[in-house]
A = this chain, B = another copy of it.
Amino acid sequence: MAAALALARAEVPSFVLEQASQFGEIGAGIQLGPNVFRMFDRLGVREHIDKDAVQVEKLIMKDSLSAETITEVPLIGAFAERFGNPYAVSHRADVHGALLQACEESPLVTLAHSQRVESFEDVGDGVLAETEAGQTFRGSAMIGADGLWSHVRSHLFGDGAPRVSGHVAYRAVLPFKEFPEDLRWNAATLWAGPRNHLVHYPLRRRELFNIVAVFHDDAYVEGWNESGDRDALMHRFDGVGPLPMSILERVESWRMWVLCDREPTDVWSKGRVTLLGDAAHPMLQYFAQGACMAVEDAVCLADMVVASCGDYTSAFRAYEKERYLRTGRVQLMARFLGDIYHAEGVARELRNQALRQRTPQQSHDGLAWLYGGP
Residues of A that sit less than 8 Å from B by CB: 263-266, 324-325, 328-329, 332, 345-347, 349-350, 353
Contacts and interface: CB of A to CB of B under 8 A. Distances in A.
Nearest to A263: B345
16 contacts: A263-B346, A263-B347, A264-B346, A265-B345, A265-B346, A266-B345, A266-B346, A324-B346, A325-B346, A325-B349, A325-B350, A325-B353, A328-B346, A328-B347, A328-B349, A332-B347
A70 to B, nearest CB: 16
Contacts of A349: 266, 325, 328
Main secondary structure of the interface of A (DSSP, over half): helix
A345 B332 CA distance: 12
Contacts of A263: 345-347
**Copies of the chain in the assembly:** 2
B325 A264 contact: no
Contacts of A329: 350
Given A265-B345, A266-B346, 14 more contacts: A264-B346, A264-B347, A266-B345, A266-B349, A324-B346, A325-B346, A325-B349, A325-B350, A325-B353, A328-B346, A328-B350, A329-B350, A332-B346, A332-B350
Nearest to A353: B325
Contacts of A324: 346
Contacts of A265: 345-346
A359 to B, nearest CB: 15
Contacts of A345: 263-266
A192 to B, nearest CB: 16
Contacts of A328: 346-347, 349-350
A346 B328 CA distance: 7
| Shortest Cβ-Cβ A-B pairs, 10 listed | A264-B346, A328-B346, A329-B350, A266-B346, A332-B347, A328-B350, A325-B350, A324-B346, A325-B349, A263-B345
A263 B350 CA distance: 13
Nearest to A327: B346
A339 B89 CA distance: 33
Contacts of A350: 325, 328-329, 332
A324 B325 CA distance: 37
Nearest to A266: B346
A191 to B, nearest CB: 22
Nearest to A324: B346
A95 to B, nearest CB: 28
Contacts of A264: 345-347
A325 B347 CA distance: 9
Nearest to A331: B346
